[in-house]
Amino acid sequence: MTKAFSFRISSSLRRAVTLVTAALGTSLASHAAETTPATESTPTAAYQSVIRIQNSSQIADYRTPWNPGNYSGGTGSGFLVGENRFLTNAHVVSNTRRLLVTKHGSPRELPARIVAIAHDCDLALLEIIDDEDYQNAFEGVPQLEIGEVPRLESEVRVIGYPVGGERISVTRGVVSRIDFRPYSHSQVDQHLVIQIDAAINPGNSGGPVLQANKVVGVAFQGLTSADNTGYMIPTPVIKRFLTDVGDGSYDHYVDLAIDEFPLMNPAQRKALGLPDNDRGILVVSVLKGGTCDGKLESGDILMAIDDHPIFSDGKVNLNGESVTMHEIVERKFAGDLVKLEVLRNGEAEEVTVSLKPFDPSRIFQIRYGERPRFVTAAGFVFQPLNRNVMAAHPISDLEGRKLIADYIGEGLYTDWEEIVVLTQILPDSINADVTGFRRMVVDKINGVKIRKLQDVFDHLYQPMAQGKLPEFTTIHCLGAERPIVIESEKMIEAHARIRSKYGVSSDHFLDYENYELEHQNEETSPAIEPLDEAA
């Protein structure tokens, strides 16, 4: 089976756009074969498999991207799932500079590192760095076995290290709901979740949720507006992650890349010539370059997916549960095929699509473990737009906001590889009359269309550094009535002065592909601060 990245376009993207515009060498499969399941019947048998995790982290500063960022820290939980493989939440170990794990009943803090991490489903796999440390601490400790989805109203145990103490904690709860909800870590991805009536507090995150000594979930977030309500990542998501990282890398989810609409309105169904049988949903749009591009059309009625009838609310029956049709896709990988039954112009057709990721959607995900990319020139700071930049520098002009809103829906990503924003103008006499251009989308520099950050470097910074700019430098921003115009000679003179005045330690950073804080395990001095929105 081939593998890959998903993202539910239809509803999660609409929410993201609304927020933006208004604001391993060894295979996991082989580990599974070597696993000794925790089959002991005593409730305390699993405690030895659960670890406490301390994360000293470095959080990137998107306001001053040349700075190293802020140091912080937090604690969480994890558990043994394979030979020197511990499962936890991505948000527990994100932005890490140092990880320490502690076994139940032991005072020793063992250095650990990330093997694989998936921010879109909030899961990560760790290993203890020193194999001798692992053998000494965990020899004979059972590896927890991954079970199935628990039934509604069945009892589960949540095990972990919540704040308020350093010893292991156990709470019991009942499975109250199985749903498809947003994951707070990325702020945009949606997957299957299970709700339980047990509190999941900071520090619980990453701990196992057990039923009959088998893992039925990973604790990962709570509901701040309700008491004793927690959420766990269920086993279909866990198993998919472990399968994906079995080759040592995480390839993300796949997606249909369509926007759909439920067909529950009787009048609309009648207008479309559909029977009153609660079947079918409307394809509103097909995203360019996505899985269904050239296969589906706007106006198609989706009737079934992989022989599962699609009801008028967009749900299917899967293993006895009513879940969104996207759950069928969620369990597949890149290159896998999906069969769609379509009603087009009143005629039934069968369409088979090969699944693939939809990368443009990542603009709306929160980034972790990346150094911010930027270019500076004479006090002008240029950054490519993503969720982190949006939070640090909210876009206020209407043209820029419309561009962001249309980036996915109108297929602008086919022309704009990145949206580049003039996020800051560091005050100086050279730019005294252009402060109104701050936080605007850059359209052209010296007549050249800007479609990615590299363009700014190639057509502004590099010519400036080489003294090859034209007599006047012009920067056009979307929605601006006039361009920024500066004498290039004065701009070159001002660059070093502004860098010194504002402590700009670097002119630019373009490539984050080989720079991931999550794969650096340097010693730092952490602040003691619990993890935030997720438990």
Q: What's the one-letter identity of residue 96?
A: T
Rounded CA separation 406/17 (Å): 9
Virtual torsion, Cα 105, 109, 110, 113, nearest 10 deg: 110
| Whole-angstrom distance, CA of residue 234 vs CA of residue 227 | 21
Q: Which of 31, 56, 122, 326 is catalytic?
A: 122
Q: Distance from first CA to last CA of the chain, Å, rounded?
A: 34
CA atoms of 177 and 194, how far apart (whole Å): 6
Catalytic residue among 6, 56, 72, 91: 91
- Facing residues of 59 across strands? 70
Judged by DSSP in three states, 329 sits in helix
Of the candidates 205, 285, 312, 488, the residue annotated as catalytic is 205
Residue among 63, 96, 21, 59 nearest 374 (CA): 63
Q: What is the 3-state secondary structure (H, E, C) of 157-182?
A: EEEECCCCCCCCEEEEEEEEEEEEEE
Q: What token pair was written down for 219?
A: 């604790």
Angle between helix axes 398-409 and 14-22 (nearest 10 degrees) is 170
Q: How do 214-222 and 145-146 pair as beta strands?
A: parallel
Q: What does the block give as tokens for 426?
A: 């560091």
Could you give the CA distance from residue 386 to residue 391 in angstroms, rounded to a whole number?
9
Tell me the C-alpha to C-alpha distance, in Å, between residue 465 and each of 271, 451, 492: 63, 21, 7
**Residue in the block written with tokens 């890349």:** 257
Could you give the CA distance from residue 396 to residue 314 in angstroms, rounded to a whole number? 35
The reply to whether 91 belongs to the active site is yes
What's the rounded Cα separation, in Å, for the pair 343 and 345?
A: 7
Phi/psi-derived region of residue 351, left when phi > 0, alpha when psi is between -120 and 50, beta in every other case? beta
For 333, list phi and psi in degrees, rounded to 5.
-130, 170
C-beta atoms surrounding 289 within 10 Å: 14
HSE of 242 in the Cβ direction (CA atoms, 13 Å)? 20
Closest CA to 283 of 302, 264, 309: 302
Report how far residue 487's alpha carbon sits from residue 494's, in angstroms, rounded to the nearest whole number: 11
Left if phi > 0, otherwise alpha if psi is -120 to 50, otherwise beta: which for 326?
alpha
| Residue 76 amino acid letter | G
Place of tokens 């039925």: 216
Q: How far is CA 220 from the centre of its chain?
A: 14
119 flagged as catalytic? no
Q: Which residues are catalytic?
A: 91, 122, 205
